[in-house]
Structure 1
Amino acid sequence: MQEVPNWDIAARRIVDTEKITMYVTGSSSRMLSTDVATEFRGRSIAYELLPFSFREYASYHHVLEDQQGMFDKEQQSLLKRACRDYLVQGGFPGVQMLDDNERAGVLQSYAQFTVARDVVERHGFSNAAFARNLTRISLASSGRDFSISKIDGMSRSAGYSPGRATISAIIDAFEDAHLLHQVYEFTHSAQKVRLGGFKVYAEDPGLLCALAPATSDGLTRALETAVYLEMRRRASSRVGSIALLKLKSGKEIDFIEGDEAFGIAYELIQVSLSMKDEATRQREVSALHEAMARFEKNAATIITLDEESNINVPEGMIHVVPAWKWLLG
């Protein structure tokens, strides 16, 4: 519909004169949710639809039979295996039945087509090749600290950089086009954007795996990406309340959900592929222990690939939860 000239005028007239509810959908290159809000001036609600959640993925592949959460050992084993597959394959419906090479190719084409239409064409960026390269760098960095200054320096060393302001604008355009999401440090400061902690998360863990070179931390970052996206689904009524937390000790909490203005934490979450290594266990627990004391919380969560336990700390309890169970909610 967005291809029709003056569609917005006609749609607004119908909404104004008829007692109806109208659903509008279309290409994000021509019609972002912000555009709909502008066109209908307070008379619209935008819904964010992400690729399959793990629950939807498991249902699609006929792994999730019991909707009540009572799983026998056989089904738990199937869900654990499905969770690993989900972290690699992701949740885009169109790639579910493809082999590894085909899936990677299709996901890469999704990203590049989105950049061409929803970023370069829409925003008029002059250097399409730079935008495409920045796409790969950004999506491959899902779950890692991200630095505009570092990207600028690398680009200058390679012979071309549009400057930090343009790089920032392109990253914002990636977010508008639903390629990635930006997560900042938990603070009430109005200057938090890009001055504090800054991470990006791909729109889908499959995009990370399709665009990133194989690394030892790849599955960990895919898990962290999946956890962020699930938190985003669950916090849809207050988008923007998910942040990372840097503590006075220098330790870091992967995700805090809360009210930044009042300094209130609703949920504290660490993501760790495994807690079997004692150094890893101490690092994750000590960070949560410090954060729980700061926010007077008596519970926190560590999400692992398939481990489950409870850890007592002076403030209360840290729940170690396997990813498949937490993602099913």
Structure 2
Amino acid sequence: MQELTKLGITEILNDWNYWKRDFEAYVPRTEYLNTIRRFRKSGEIIVLTGIRRSGKSTLLKLEMQDLAQHVGKEALLYINFEDPRFGDTIDTRTLDMIFETYRETINPDGDVFIFLDEVQNVNGWEKWVRTAYELQKAKVYVTGSSSRLLSGEIATSISGRYLQLAVYPLTFSEFLAFQNVECKNIMDYSAKKIEIHRLFAEYLRYGGFPRVASIDEDLKKEELVSYYNTILLKDILSRFRLRNFEKLKKLARYLLTNDTKQNSINSITRALKYNYQTVEDYIDYLRQVYMVFELRNFSYSLKKQLISDTKYYAIDTGFVNAVSFSFSQNIGRLYENVVFNELMRRGKTTFFLNEGGSECDFIVQEGNAITGAYQVCYDLNEQNLQRETSGLVMACKTFGLTRGSIITESTIKTTVEDGVEIRIVPITVFLLGLAEEV
């Protein structure tokens, strides 16, 4: 590839930055933006991590748009390290050249806010960022598509100098905002219930990736498959120098089509006839790029937790449907996956509980105490009511809780079972944070 020159860098920077053009219009994600602006006041390095296409770059641009009103566009330098014109090997020398070119052509001596997008593509980026921070050359924002972006030596290098924010696909509340539907309270919900239920069916099928939420339905699955393959190829196969794409693809599909079910490395090894270490490594890679999350059976013993069976949940139900054959047969599992994601995005530490033949889908831990219990059942009926109720009551009794919740399709009801108050709420009510209002 041709050597990168300052003229070439200038062309790349002009393509990506807003010095001579207007910002695009984006739907704001208020909670994230408020957090970023609060972080900004600290003067620390701001780090956004999350799965590819979850909206990290858009949040950077919205932050730039806000900053431009105070410091001017020339103070903002955005670099997208996914641009192929930077070449295959990007290191701190490239960063030096970019910064020098920017200073020479755009902003010779003013304050600088620098935005490094997908920074994991830059070898030694953390040393450059630390130097920029300590010498006050710039206020620095970085994004990356790996949970290990700040692990090991990198975390040590900039330890105490950064604030981190994980960015996920849209919550259902954000998804409604993308569809121009406002629902702030139970009165809004009641007035817009039909539209909300229609949109929830779409959210369940195609998930919450921002662009997928914004394009025509006939393009959604194609877009999801493209994300899925790009993450496997670029973020895993290429980054970890794996050789067998089909093997990785088969394991990813196995986890997504068996999401919410109890599994173990041994059971997956037997099912796929793979080597144990291969399965363990591939699952770790899928977790690093945020495609799947794991949930463990609760125990006060950390050792018992680590050796217990595990449930895997997809970052987005759109991925589950993109690799599955039947949406209708998956609805119960999709409900459970959506509730897991919502609890995670609310910052809850969750486990499942399987004891004495009864199971509770989710228990929530805050500090050293269990503070909540949730059962998820798409079709709650006379045949399964006792099973779902007994699992919830078992969890509540185990941890001394006086109340638990069953999340289902549309039922609103409160009952008492063995001294435990059981609140049955529709999943849309739960996702919109309105459960206490019904």
Take 1:4 and 1:314, find their aligned partners in 2: how far apart are those partners?
A: 59
Deviations along 1:251-304, one digit per CA (max 9) or x if unpaired, are: 1110111158x5x311100000022x2121111111111221111101111111
Take 2:387 and 2:406, find their aligned partners in 1: how far apart are those partners?
A: 11
| Match of residue 382 from structure 2 | 278
| Match of residue 137 from structure 1 | 254
Take 1:10 and 1:227, find their aligned partners in 2: how far apart are those partners?
A: 40
Take 1:102 and 1:19, find their aligned partners in 2: how far apart are those partners?
A: 44
Deviations along 1:85-138, one digit per CA (max 9) or x if unpaired, are: 211121011212445553222212212211112212222333222011111111
**Count of equivalent residues:** 314
| Match of residue 222 from structure 2 | 105
| Change over 3 Å in CA distance of 1:142–1:280 after alignment to 2 | same
Asked whether 1:235 is paired with 2:339, we answer: no
Query: What is the DSSP-based 3-state SS (H/G/I as helix, E as strand, rest coil) of the residue aligned with 1:123?
Result: coil
Take 1:155 and 1:197, find their aligned partners in 2: how far apart are those partners?
A: 17
Asked whether 1:246 is paired with 2:354, we answer: yes
Q: Which of 308, 317, 327 in structure 2 is aligned with 1:205?
A: 317
CA contact (8 A) 1:308 1:321 kept: yes
Q: Which runs of 5+ in 1 are unaligned?
A: none
Q: Provide the TM-score with structure 1 as the length reference.
A: 0.87
Query: What is the DSSP-based 3-state SS (H/G/I as helix, E as strand, rest coil) of the residue aligned with 2:161?
Result: coil
Question: Identity over the aligned pairs, expressed in percent?
Answer: 27
CA contact (8 A) 1:274 1:304 kept: yes
More deviation, 164-173/139-148: 139-148
Deviations along 1:129-172, one digit per CA (max 9) or x if unpaired, are: 2011111111222222223223222333xxxx2x1122011101
More deviation, 100-109/172-181: 100-109
Query: What is the DSSP-based 3-state SS (H/G/I as helix, E as strand, rest coil) of the residue aligned with 2:196?
Result: helix
More deviation, 302-311/74-83: 74-83
Q: Which of 158, 163, 166 in structure 2 is aligned with 1:48?
A: 166
Asked whether 1:307 is paired with 2:414, we answer: no
Take 1:197 and 1:49, find their aligned partners in 2: how far apart are those partners?
A: 28
CA contact (8 A) 1:243 1:257 kept: yes
| Match of residue 258 from structure 1 | 365
Q: Which has the higher strand share?
A: 2
Deviation at 1:243, TM superposition (A): 0.8
| Match of residue 57 from structure 1 | 175
Supply the AA of the counterpart residue of 1:304. T
Deviation at 1:22, TM superposition (A): 2.8
Take 2:415 and 2:423, find their aligned partners in 1: how far apart are those partners?
A: 6
| Change over 3 Å in CA distance of 1:72–1:100 after alignment to 2 | closer
CA contact (8 A) 2:375 2:388 kept: yes
Q: Which structure exhibits the higher relative contact order, with contacts defined as CA atoms closer than 8 Å and separated by 6 or more residues?
A: 1
| Match of residue 331 from structure 2 | 219
Asked whether 1:119 is paired with 2:223, we answer: no
Deviation at 1:5, TM superposition (A): 4.8
Q: Which runs of 5+ in 2 are unaligned?
A: 1-115, 434-438
| Change over 3 Å in CA distance of 1:139–1:100 after alignment to 2 | farther
CA contact (8 A) 1:80 1:306 kept: no
Supply the AA of the counterpart residue of 1:226. V
Q: Provide the TM-score with structure 2 as the length reference.
A: 0.67
| Match of residue 50 from structure 2 | none
Deviation at 1:27, TM superposition (A): 4.6
Deviation at 1:74, TM superposition (A): 3.5
CA contact (8 A) 1:37 1:43 kept: no
